[in-house]
């Protein structure tokens, strides 16, 4: 009887060992086998699909494993849970949106969840845009949480602790990456802060003896340079023209300031009466700078006004190729106008 019992125990141990070995092999295979994100729109030989997987705050590893199985990303949720437990990763998983790609292993997936490298969305603010255009872009971005109504938008300068009542030109043009859950206010705050940072850096390194008293004045002039510059290599030359005109107490006479002052009335053409109209921004009619920037200026434009070209030109006119012809005096400038503008 005792011999039979020992024999039975031995058999059970052997069976248990085989079962354990099989499960361990299956478990290791599970960890090392690349996941496959199936895209029904792709053929089998072109499956390189991606998917967004969301982990909400408070979600347990068990719930994550079940969700991965339901989405057919993994087959064995119990193995997933076991791995996070023995690797001591379970408590380190962070909430957020994650981009899962075919070819990742389960180990890669867990490491991604632990890293907190959540999926990022992108929104670009472009040099030369007005603040109205920038706000419209923010408003229309489906990935930003909307918290700002019309009243809140009007009070943004106060909310951002800005010393200026108008945010024109005070957002920095760039491509911003942001995770799910970012609000419109957080996005605008980030862009505003970035502009303050860039402007301060450039101002601290400015050339001496410029006719610009404050960083804000530099930003105003940079916005005009930005709107005038069709070719980036000309920014410094255009800035040089405006700086020399300011030093000589000449009016800037920049067409984009006429357009900005006209607002919605501008329909694509500048007429003689528009040039003669004295708005707060028309630099054909006012001395020195407008009261605010007229657009978003990039770092290159800001740098240009603080490090202007050392030439002698006081005028420039569009040459029809995207660039400008620069003149040292009015007589030369008038000839250039006849050649490039009036003939055309």
Give the contacts of 42 (CB within 8 A, at least 6 positions apart): 48, 49
Could you give the count of Cα atoms lying within 13 Å of 301 in the half-sphere of its Cβ? 28
Q: Domain 312-344: state its class.
A: alpha beta
Spell out the domain ranges in the chain. 47-118, 120-311, 312-344
**Do the domains at 47-118 and 312-344 have one common CATH topology?**
no
Q: Residue 121 pairs with which residues in a beta bridge?
A: 178
pLDDT in tens, the chain (344 residues): 665 555 555 555 555 555 555 566 667 888 888 888 876 555 554 555 788 999 999 999 999 999 999 988 988 899 899 999 989 988 999 999 999 998 899 999 999 999 999 999 999 999 999 999 999 999 999 999 999 998 999 899 999 999 999 999 999 999 999 999 999 999 999 999 999 999 999 999 999 999 999 999 999 999 999 999 988 889 999 999 999 999 999 999 999 999 999 988 988 888 899 999 999 999 999 998 999 999 999 999 999 999 999 989 999 988 877 888 888 999 888 888 888 776 65
Structurally, at CATH architecture level, domain 47-118 sits in 2-Layer Sandwich (3.30)
Give the contacts of 106 (CB within 8 A, at least 6 positions apart): 30, 31, 33, 35, 74, 79, 80, 83
Report yes or no: 169 and 336 within 8 Å, Cβ to Cβ. Answer: no
Give the contacts of 304 (CB within 8 A, at least 6 positions apart): 222, 225, 235, 236, 238, 239
> pLDDT value at position 31?
82
> pLDDT value at position 279?
93
């Amino acid at each position: 009887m005792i011999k039979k019992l020992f024999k039975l125990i031995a058999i059970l141990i052997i069976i248990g060992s085989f079962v354990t070995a099989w499960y361990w092999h299956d478990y290791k295979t599970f960890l090392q086998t690349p996941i496959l994100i199936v895209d029904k729109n792709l053929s089998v030989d072109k499956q390189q699909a991606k998917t967004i997987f969301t982990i909400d705050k408070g979600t347990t590893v068990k719930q994550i494993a079940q969700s991965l199985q339901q989405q057919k990303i993994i087959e064995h949720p119990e193995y997933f849970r076991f791995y996070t437990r023995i690797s001591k990763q379970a408590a380190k998983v962070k909430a957020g949106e994650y981009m899962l790609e075919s070819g990742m292993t389960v180990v890669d997936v867990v490491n991604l969840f632990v890293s907190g490298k959540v999926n990022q969305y992108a929104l670009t603010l472009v040099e030369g845009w007005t603040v109205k255009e920038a706000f419209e872009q923010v408003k229309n971005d489906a990935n930003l949480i909307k918290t700002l109504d019309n009243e809140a938008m009007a009070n943004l300068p106060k909310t951002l602790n800005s010393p200026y009542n108008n945010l024109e030109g005070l957002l920095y043009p760039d491509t911003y990456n942001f995770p799910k859950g970012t609000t419109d206010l957080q996005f605008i705050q980030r862009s505003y802060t970035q502009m303050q940072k860039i402007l301060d850096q450039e101002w601290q390194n400015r050339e001496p003896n410029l006719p610009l008293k404050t960083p804000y004045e530099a930003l105003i002039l940079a916005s005009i340079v930005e709107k005038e510059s069709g070719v980036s290599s000309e920014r410094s030359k255009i800035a040089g023209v405006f700086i020399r005109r300011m030093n000589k107490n000449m009016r800037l006479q920049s067409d984009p300031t006429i357009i900005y002052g006209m607002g919605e009335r501008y329909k694509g053409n500048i007429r003689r009466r528009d040039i003669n109209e004295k708005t707060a921004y028309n630099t054909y009619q006012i001395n020195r700078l407008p009261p605010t920037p007229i657009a978003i200026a990039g770092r290159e434009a800001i740098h240009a006004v603080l490090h202007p070209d050392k030439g002698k030109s006081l005028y420039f006119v569009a040459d029809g190729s995207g660039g400008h012809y620069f003149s040292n005096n009015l007589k030369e400038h008038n000839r250039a106008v006849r050649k490039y503008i009036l003939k055309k």
